[in-house]
Structure 1
Amino acid sequence: MTTRRIYIVDDDLAVRTSLEYLLSMIGESEIRCFDSGDSFLESAPLLEPGCLLLDLQMPGASGLQVLSTVGGRPTRFVPIVLTGEGDVSVAVQAMKLGAIDFIEKPCDHLKLMTAVEAAFTQQAASTAEEQRKAKAISLLEQLSSRELDVLRGLIDGQSNKIIAHALDISPRTVEIYRAKLMEKLQVRSLSEVLRIAFAAGLVPMD
């Protein structure tokens, strides 16, 4: 089983100790505590991906400042913010910066454990998505510029004849390029081609 890493960032020793004890019940977990946002940010580049439990009100770098640096990168850290202020506007701002949930102190144990499990689920999904994207990009990089032109025509739903006219080549040549690009992409159908294009970001999402 993959080790699930949890990073607790809070300037209150009692809170850190309590959270560490509670979260140690999560199987295959590795927990590290930081007494400030500054100390976490200093270590962050060398840390493995994990769930981040982050206090919003701390001396030095605040929770929002930490989020502005590491938030929005769920394949690295999935943040859950802890607030003792009950300030909904600050919590909303934190979620805009990448936090997936906010929990008021003192933490409800069940809600906290549920949020942490959700964070790991989201991180696994984000990592899998990144891997699919990287593989798709790698496959597309094998295509020649002309094969990419044909692919874009296929993405737009154009027939071989229309693609041929736009590229000033024959429909038969389009068929050849189409066969070559499908061979390089290791697929047998147009739907599989489109899935790769979507995964790589070649097709804009509305």
Structure 2
Amino acid sequence: MSEDTAVHIVDDDASVLRALERLLRAAGYDSRTYSSATEFLQAERPEGPSCLVLDVDMPEMTGLDLQAELNAKGKDLPIIFITGYGDIPTSVRAMKAGAVDFLPKPFTDEQLLEAVETALRRDATNRNERQKRRALEERLERLTKREQQVMALVVTGRLNKQIATELGIKEKTVKIHRGRVMDKLEVGSLAELVRLATRAGLVPG
């Protein structure tokens, strides 16, 4: 497990915090505890892979409230809910909002550790996807406005001659722009260009 990987635990019951912290540290995780949702929001958190073990029933801000706030801020931190008062509507609401798991107390050590491992795998996948999107956006930003126009028409299947007519430029100029697009985006074929454009949302998937 990476030293930057952290499991955050939020629960207003100090005894639960201590027990979960011991369990997770014994399993090799860097566990960090918070006695309230507000404390968690105010704390500085590491940039590495992480997940959140979150009590549903807390005063002031509940676990579901915290989940909603994180979602509103675009923070897709995987959440495992724990509760002593679980009910179906609450669990359904939590899962629909993106929770990894919903564990009613008492749960076994194995259940929690399995849920944490699942949550961390999800976070790693999310981070990888975000990294790919950023890299793709950076490549697209290399293109000039005219190159973007040419690319948009190329990936729809237009021929160079058709693109030239539509943009009011020479066919030779289209070929030059098309070559620059391929070079800047680091693709070697039209098929690769179409796949890249599809991932970027420039053409229907």
Q: Does 1:186 align with 2:191?
A: no
Q: Which runs of 4+ in 1 moved over 6 A?
A: none
Q: Deviations over 1:109-138 (max 9, x none)?
A: 222111111111111111111111111111
* Counterpart residue number, 1:136: 136
What are the equivalent positions in structure 2 for 1:51-200 lying under 5 Å apart? 51-71=51-71, 73-74=75-76, 77-200=77-200
1:9 partner amino acid: V
Q: 1:159 to 1:123 in 2, by over 3 A?
A: same
Aligned residues, how many?
Answer: 200
- Alignment RMSD, CA only? 1.9
Q: Distance in 2 between matches of 1:203 and 1:106?
A: 49
Q: Tell me, yes or no, if the aligned pair for 1:73 and 1:98 is still in contact at 8 Å.
A: no
* Counterpart residue number, 1:6: 7
Query: So what's the TM-score if we normalise by structure 2?
Result: 0.88
SS state of the match for residue 139, structure 1?
helix
Aligned residues with identical type, % of pairs: 40
SS state of the match for residue 202, structure 1?
coil
Q: Tell me, yes or no, if the aligned pair for 1:132 and 1:199 is still in contact at 8 Å.
A: no
Q: Distance in 1 between matches of 2:204 and 2:11?
A: 40
**Deviation at residue 144 of structure 1 after TM alignment:** 0.7
Q: Tell me, yes or no, if the aligned pair for 2:151 and 2:178 is still in contact at 8 Å.
A: yes
Q: Distance in 2 between matches of 1:155 and 1:83?
A: 51
Q: Tell me, yes or no, if the aligned pair for 1:136 and 1:197 is still in contact at 8 Å.
A: no
Q: Tell me, yes or no, if the aligned pair for 2:82 and 2:102 is still in contact at 8 Å.
A: yes
Structure 2: gaps spanning 5 or more residues: none
Structure 1: gaps spanning 5 or more residues: none
